[in-house]
Structure 1
C-alpha cells in the first residue's frame, strides 16, 4: 500500500510537471514565435501527451496477471490424478516460456524496423534540404510537407513505444506464470520445500520488476525516444525557415528535450504501475 501511494504521488508530480511546462510554452509559441508556426509543434506534443496518458488510464488495469494462492494436494485420489494434471501444467509452462521468448524476439524485430523506417525517411528529408539552393530556401509548402512527415515518423515511434511496453508487460506476465507453476510443484513435490526451492534461481519474489532499468527493453525504449526527440527537433528547426534555417534555435532544442523527458518517464508510468485487483 505504501509503495502504491509513493508511485501515485510520483505520477501526480509527473502530470503536474508536464502540464506546467505546456502552460509556460503556450504564450511563447502563440505570441513570440507565432510567425514561425512553432505552435504546430506545441499542439502536436499536446496531442501526443493526451493520447498516451488516456491510453494509460484506459488500459492500466488490463495488462497484469493476478497471482493466486498455491493449494497443496491432499488425499490419495488427488495424488493419483496428479500425473495427468502435471501434463497440463507442463504444457502451460511451455506456453509461458515460448511467450516470454517471443516477446524478446518481437522487441528485436520492432527496433530494427523502426531504425530502418526512421533512417529512410530522415535520409529522404535530408536529401531534399541538401539539394536546395542555400540562397533560395525551401518553399512554405515543402516545409509543411517535411514537418508533416516528421510528425508521422514521431507518431509511428510512439506506436512502437507502446508496443514495446506491452511486450515488456507480456514478458513479466509469462515469467510470473512460470514461477506460479514452479511454486505449485515445489509445494506438491513431496520434497522438502527449502531443498526444492534451492534448485531455482528465479522465484516469484525475485522476478525483475517490469519497470527495471538497465535491461534490453529499457535501452530499446531509450533508442526510440532519442530518435523521436530528434524528429521533433527537425520539425521545429524546419519551421524556423527561412531566416533561421541555418541556425539551431533554443526552442527546437527545448521541444526535443521536453519530448525525450516525457517519453522516458512514460516507461515508468506504464511499467511501475501496480493494479489493485478486486478480491
Structure 2
C-alpha cells in the first residue's frame, strides 16, 4: 500500500491516509455501495494493510457518493450464491473471515454513515467501535422482506446496542428508521449535518490517534471483555495490557508532558 492511497476489489474498496487515520471507502456507486463477495475480500485486504501499518492508529469506514454507507448485500449475486440453505451458508463463510477481522480489530474503528445503511451494511457498521451518522441517513435490516434469517453473530451486536425489543421491531417489520430514531435507540452515537459529518469524524479520529496507543488498546480490550459473559472473560488479557501500559515509555512521556505543560508525543511503545 502506498503512503497515501490504495484500491482493492477493482476499485470498489478504496483506502486513503489522513495523517495517522486510515479511511476505507466503499465505492460501488451503481449499486449504492452494496457488498459483493469481491468487495468483502477487498475489505479484508484493506483492513489487514491498515492493521499492519504501524503509522495508522485509527480506521474510519465510509461510503462514496453521499447516498449510501452500504445499502446491503449485492442481491444480484443471490440467485447463484444464496439460493438455498447450503449455498447461503457457503456465502456466509466466504465473508466470515472479514467480519471476524473487523470484530476483533486491534485499532479503534469508526463508521462514518451517510445515506442508506441497510442489512449487511448495518452489520458492518455495528462491528465498528462507534457510529456517527448524518441527519439524512436511513437504517434497517430488511431480512424479513427477503426471506433471510440472521444468525447469532449478526444479531448479537444489534441486541447489545438497542436491546431485544427494538431489535425485534426492526427485524419483524423490516422497517427503516431515520438517523434521529437511530440515535434515540442507541444504534448510532452521534448525529450531525451531512456537511459536518466527515470533518467531525476525522476530528475525533485524530484526537484518538493523538492519545497513547497502548492506553487506547487497553480500553478497547477491556470493554470487549466486559461485554462477554463472566465465565468467558479473559482477565489475564486485561492484566497484560494494563501492565504493558504502566511499563511503557508512553506512560513516562505522558507524565513528563503533563509536568512540562506540553502536548505529549506518543510512540506506542
TM over 0.5, shorter chain: no
Looking at secondary structure, tell me which structure has more helix per residue: 1
**Larger RCO: Structure 1 or Structure 2 (Cα < 8 Å, ≥ 6 residues apart)?**
1
> What TM-score range do you get, normalising by the shorter chain?
under 0.3
TM-score normalised by structure 2 residue count: 0.25
Larger radius of gyration: 1
TM-score (norm 1): 0.24
- Higher-strand-fraction structure: 2
